[in-house]
Amino acid sequence: MLIPGYATLEGTARFRARFEARLPGHLRSSNGLWISSIGLGTYLGDPTAACDQLYCDAVRRAVELGTNHFDTAINYRHQRSERAIGRALAAMVAAGTLGRDELVLATKGGFLTFDGDEPADPTSYFYEKLIRTGLVQPEEVAAGCHVMSPKFLTNQIELSRQNLGVETLDIYYVHNPETQLSAVSRQEFYRRLRAAFEALETAVGDGKIRIYGTATWNAYRHSPDSREAISLAAVLGIAEEVGGHGHHFRAIQLPFNLAMPEAWVAKCQTWKGQPATCLEVARANGLLVAASASLMQGHLTEGLPAQVRNGFPDSETDAQCAIQFVRSTPGITCALVGMSRREHVEENLATASVAPLTLAQFRSLLTK
């Protein structure tokens, strides 16, 4: 049985009230919700039962320490990451230690995935599961791994609901849509994106998701002449064409960290005829912004230069410095950090006990 409900202002405010005294500035308001400034990501790890259990434990510990935003994708660890979050959530809700309305769940669809384990013959597996059943047409597949047709996304939403054990997904991202640009023209890409948004607006109307967006890697931070570059303004325009002024495209996700600051510094987007950064466009449109790769998949957990470390006098480790940078960036709602181990959860979430940097402190980092 799926857990009913979804994240609400009342529920997330209740969660915030339990932590605001000792975690200053940690819970932020976005799109009518209070969302923790550090979220738990679930990309890394082997597709094993042992890693599943580690993630279950990490999710429970993260909730205890003040995190209410969990990010995953159907293809992460062959659907195992979604299922691990689902088991942890079900246990906490059943025990009465957490309300479904307190938790913000985000997942993604677009990449082809196995079911728990990698089959001996992946090509035959995908043919039997996707092509032969009619779920996917061969011409819809880009780079041999990516589909964002309405029929496929509708199917993936249903699978994610089952994996996570919830009736409603709070945020649903089209996963790395720029992958399609390796196979189709820009005109065809935007046609496919429009069709995807139509399906997602329908899913909102059906109560299966609350809001949607795009989780990207290169799309919003590369120069406009790059093959994978996407105009966020154009994407928002498509959402408005599909859903009107009340459309539900309300979130984006992109990499942002000490080594990849383009979302803040690179004016590779355009807004109202003027060059703009991705975060400027997002802020102008009230979008929730989740920063992926806050630790650059572990590369920022050690070896930071002394001049960078000195900018974070209250942070004890390099990982905490890197996370503090991301969560202090104006326009970033949540710094996502991959955490499958309890000790990493405890170290990383200790960052939240220190108030985010002031704007002056943040800007000084970028001038060093």
Q: What is the pLDDT of residues 44-83, one digit of tens each?
A: 999 999 999 999 999 999 999 999 999 999 999 999 999 9
The H-or-E segment that residue 353 falls in is: none
Report percent pLDDT > 70 for the chain: 99
The answer to the question of residue 331 being in a domain is: yes
Please determine, for residue 221, whether its predicted confidence score (pLDDT) is greater than 90. Answer: yes
> What percentage of the chain's residues is helix, strand, coil (to nearest 5)?
45, 20, 40
Alpha carbons 298 and 340: distance in angstroms, whole number: 12
What is the structure's pLDDT at 147? 98
Question: How many secondary structure helices (H) and strands (E) does the chain include?
Answer: 13, 12
Mean pLDDT of 239-262: 97
Give residue 283's pLDDT band: very low, low, confident or very high (50, 70, 90).
very high
Mean pLDDT of 136-144: 97
Report percent pLDDT > 90 for the chain: 95
Mean pLDDT of 81-107: 98
Please determine, for residue 362, whether its predicted confidence score (pLDDT) is greater than 70. Answer: yes
Mean pLDDT of 206-222: 97
Please determine, for residue 226, whether its predicted confidence score (pLDDT) is greater than 80. Answer: yes
Name the token pair of 359: 């704007």
The answer to the question of residue 142 being in a domain is: no
Q: Give the single-character DSSP code of 54.
A: H
What is the structure's pLDDT at 50? 97
pLDDT in tens, 2-33: 999 999 999 999 999 999 999 999 999 999 99
Give residue 368's pLDDT band: very low, low, confident or very high (50, 70, 90).
low
CA 206 to each of CA 174, 199, 201, 203, 252: distance values in angstroms, whole numbers, following the listed order: 18, 10, 9, 5, 22
What is the structure's pLDDT at 363? 83
pTM, rounded to two decimals: 0.97
255 in Cβ contact with 221 (< 8 Å)? yes
The answer to the question of residue 131 being in a domain is: no
Please determine, for residue 277, whether its predicted confidence score (pLDDT) is greater than 70. Answer: yes
What is the structure's pLDDT at 364? 82
Please determine, for residue 111, whether its predicted confidence score (pLDDT) is greater than 90. Answer: yes
CA 287 to each of CA 98, 275, 317, 338: distance values in angstroms, whole numbers, following the listed order: 26, 18, 31, 22
Q: Give the single-character DSSP code of 92.
A: H
Please determine, for residue 361, whether its predicted confidence score (pLDDT) is greater than 90. Answer: no
The answer to the question of residue 139 being in a domain is: no
362 versus 230: which is more confidently predicted? 230
Report helix, strand or coil for 284. helix
Half-sphere CA count of 66, side-chain side, radius 13 A: 25
The answer to the question of residue 31 being in a domain is: yes
Alpha carbons 9 and 233: distance in angstroms, whole number: 28
| Residue ranges making up the domain that contains 37 | 9-108+158-366
178 in Cβ contact with 218 (< 8 Å)? yes
Report helix, strand or coil for 222. coil
Name the token pair of 356: 């985010």
Please determine, for residue 367, whether its predicted confidence score (pLDDT) is greater than 80. Answer: no
The answer to the question of residue 119 being in a domain is: no
Q: Domain tally for the chain?
A: 1
pLDDT in tens, 154-207: 999 999 999 999 999 999 999 999 999 999 999 999 999 999 999 999 999 999
What is the structure's pLDDT at 298? 87
Give residue 222's pLDDT band: very low, low, confident or very high (50, 70, 90).
very high
The answer to the question of residue 125 being in a domain is: no
pLDDT in tens, 118-137: 999 999 999 999 999 999 99
269 in Cβ contact with 276 (< 8 Å)? yes
Alpha carbons 183 and 226: distance in angstroms, whole number: 15
What is the structure's pLDDT at 260? 96
What is the structure's pLDDT at 319? 96
Q: Residue 21: which CATH number?
A: 3.20.20.100
69 in Cβ contact with 35 (< 8 Å)? yes
Question: Considering only CA atoms, which of 286, 249, 283, 251 is closest in space to residue 264?
Answer: 283
The answer to the question of residue 191 being in a domain is: yes
CB neighbour burial string for 35-47, b if at least 16 within 10 angstroms, e if fewer: bbbbbbbbbebeb
What is the structure's pLDDT at 350? 97
